[in-house]
Amino acid sequence: MRLQARLLEAPRLARRLRLLAETRRLAVAAAVAEGAEALRDEVRLSLSQAGPSGPGEAPARRSGRLAASVTAETATDGLSAEVGSDLDYGRHLEFGTRRLAARPWLLPAFHRMAPGIARRLLAAGRGEL
């Protein structure tokens, strides 16, 4: 004799679990987009400072072109994003060259924003948002 147990509500439960998973994925995707946009805004703000900058400081604003070029792009699945600039001199300022000491503008902003972004992502993943 074989002992069996059958969950009669299994299809309904499976649908509800899929819905819950999708809801959480959408919440995390929204948190990723919000975090990327917040980082973009923080970078732009750090690039708006007037006056000369020294090595190790964010570059001072000259034309505003670098700040204006900073974008936040979210991946198609919504679970990752990129923040940065496609201007060549942005990379030179961030990392320096043989003749120019680094004036980082992206990584320091990321370090300032990362704890808040991480908290928001964790809250979204737990369904708290």
pLDDT digit string, tens, across residues 20-53: 788 888 999 999 999 999 999 999 999 998 888 8
114 in any annotated domain: yes
- The total of structural domains in the chain comes to 1
Range(s) of the domain holding residue 97 = 14-125
Low-confidence ranges of the chain (pLDDT < 70): 1-10, 13, 129
In a domain, 35, yes or no: yes
Query: Whole-angstrom Cα distance, residue 110 to residue 102?
Result: 16
Pairing of strands 71-74, 81-84: antiparallel
Residue 100 lies in a domain: yes
Q: Does 104 reside within a domain? A: yes
pLDDT at 8: 58
Q: Is residue 53 part of a domain?
A: yes
Question: What single string gives the DSSP state of each residue in 20-68?
Answer: HHHHHHHHHHHHHHHHHHHHHHHHHHHTT--S---TTSPPPPSSSHHHH
Residue 1 lies in a domain: no
| Structural domain contains residue 58 | yes
